């Protein structure tokens, strides 16, 4: 997570090979732990159901109609899918007759509890993947990280006891990866007040237009932006733009970045127009990869646990 967060912060991207490479030890450790605890064949196969969802992030499922032409990777994926299906079918046959009151209270057998927890982990992974595909979660790296965390911690049984739990022995907790997402979202929401305080301290707020911008952007001198390296310019959006209205050019502060400033040439041209209009500084917003917040959220998740358990205790 630290390596991925650093990569996303520096380049706004994380290579797929990073996630695939780290998934191998994660899956092996989970399999070894389930085998060592003698949790049964169904739970062992359920690990592959999580791997199945994770694989969808990188490739489409192989077409069974073309199985004669499958390459080695497609054949391996089909085996993973089959093992995951065995986990569902065999587990449903063995563990479906469950007293859900005992399950919630933790009085069911470890094997039964784990199988239902693995079903919850599968559903959680599917929600993350589906949210990415329909655009609710924008970053593919964020979703891959969350699903990989689900593989590391499919249930709270795999998470060390919290040092400072918000609730002792909660009846219900969200899955660990969902809790990580909640903590990251909470950290993401803290950013606007901090940015507003910084702008107030620097004297960047002098009008109503500045007031609407000060929550998510900061002011930079145009001369400094011109001299900034391309890598730094790539990590920010220019929100002040010169537009033509009624035959005259006027500066406008946008809440969202304009697609017209998508390359360095367009930005330099805008800087010249803004300087001609008498502006020496513009509003910019820095790109904050959500993956960085996910990395920072690991600490409160491990120390405090699920914040929602405090609300529904």
Residue 56 sits in the same domain as residue 195: no
Residue 152 sits in the same domain as residue 177: no
Which residues span the domain enclosing 191? 163-313
Confidence of residue 163 (pLDDT cuts 50, 70, 90): confident
Residue 201 clears pLDDT 60, i.e. is over it: yes
Residue 223 sits in the same domain as residue 286: yes
What digits encode the pLDDT tens for the residues 65-105?
888 888 888 889 999 999 999 999 999 998 888 777 777 66
Residue 88 sits in the same domain as residue 151: yes
Residue 112 sits in the same domain as residue 35: yes
Q: Residue 87 has what pLDDT?
A: 94
* Pick from 5, 3, 2, 1: nearest CA to 289: 5
Residue 82 sits in the same domain as residue 132: yes
Residue 174 sits in the same domain as residue 154: no
pTM as predicted: 0.82
Most confident option among 22-36, 95-109, 213-227: 22-36
Residue 10 sits in the same domain as residue 114: yes
String of DSSP letters for the chain: -HHHHHHHHHHS---HHHHHHHHHHHHHHHHHHHHHTT--HHHHHHHHHHHHHHHHTTSPPPPGGGGGG--HHHHHHHHHHHHHHHHHHHHHHHHSS--HHHHHHT-S-HHHHHHHHHHHHHHHHHHHHHHHHTTSS--HHHHHHHHHHHHH-SSGGGSPPPSS-SSSS-S----HHHHHHHHHHHHHHHHHHHHHHHHHHHT---SHHHHHHTTT-EEEEHHHHHHS-HHHHHTEEE-EEEEEETTEEEEEE-SS--GGG-SHHHHHHHHHHHHHTT--EEEEEE---HHHHHHHHHHHHHHH--HHHHH--
Position with higher pLDDT, 183 vs 170: 183
Residue 246 sits in the same domain as residue 150: no
Residue 101 sits in the same domain as residue 191: no
Q: Structural domain tally of the chain?
A: 2
Residue 191 sits in the same domain as residue 212: yes
Residue 242 clears pLDDT 60, i.e. is over it: yes
Confidence of residue 285 (pLDDT cuts 50, 70, 90): confident
Boundary residue ending a domain (158, 177, 208)? 158
Q: Residue 178 has what pLDDT?
A: 94
Boundary residue ending a domain (121, 136, 158)? 158
Low-confidence winner among 39-53, 100-114, 138-152, 257-271 (lowest mean pLDDT): 257-271
Boundary residue ending a domain (158, 174, 206)? 158
Q: Residue 301 has what pLDDT?
A: 92
Q: Residue 233 has what pLDDT?
A: 59
Residue 104 sits in the same domain as residue 210: no
Average pLDDT of span 189-210 = 87
253, β-bridge pairs: 240
Q: What is the mean pLDDT of the chain?
A: 86
């Amino acid at each position: 997570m630290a390596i991925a967060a650093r990569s996303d912060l520096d380049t706004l991207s994380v290579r797929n090979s990073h996630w695939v490479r780290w998934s191998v030890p994660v899956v092996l450790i989970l399999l070894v732990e389930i085998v060592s605890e003698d949790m049964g064949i169904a739970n062992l196969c359920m690990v592959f159901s999580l791997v199945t969802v994770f694989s969808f992030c990188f490739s489409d499922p192989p077409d069974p109609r073309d199985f004669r032409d499958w390459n080695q990777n497609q054949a391996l994926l089909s085996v993973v899918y089959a093992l995951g299906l065995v986990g569902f079918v065999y587990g449903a046959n063995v563990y479906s007759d469950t007293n859900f009151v005992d399950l919630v209270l933790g009085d069911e057998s470890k094997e039964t509890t784990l199988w239902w927890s693995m079903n919850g982990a599968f559903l959680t992974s599917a929600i993350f993947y589906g949210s990415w595909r329909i655009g609710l979660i924008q970053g593919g790296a964020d979703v891959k990280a969350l699903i990989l965390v689900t593989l590391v911690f499919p249930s709270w049984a795999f998470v060390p006891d919290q040092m400072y739990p918000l609730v002792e022995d909660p009846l219900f907790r969200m899955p660990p990866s969902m809790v990580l997402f909640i903590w990251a979202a909470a950290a993401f929401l803290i950013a606007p007040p901090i940015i507003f305080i910084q702008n107030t301290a620097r004297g960047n707020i002098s009008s109503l237009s500045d007031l609407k911008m000060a929550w998510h952007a900061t002011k930079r001198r145009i001369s400094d932006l011109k001299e900034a390296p391309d890598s730094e310019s790539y990590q920010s959006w220019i929100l002040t733009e010169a537009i033509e209205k009624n035959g005259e050019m006027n500066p406008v502060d946008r809440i969202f970045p304009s697609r017209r400033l998508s390359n360095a040439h367009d930005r330099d041209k805008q800087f010249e127009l803004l300087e001609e209009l008498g502006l020496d500084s513009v509003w910019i917003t820095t790109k904050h990869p959500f993956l960085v917040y996910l990395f920072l959220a690991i600490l409160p998740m491990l120390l405090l646990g699920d914040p929602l358990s405090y609300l529904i205790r």
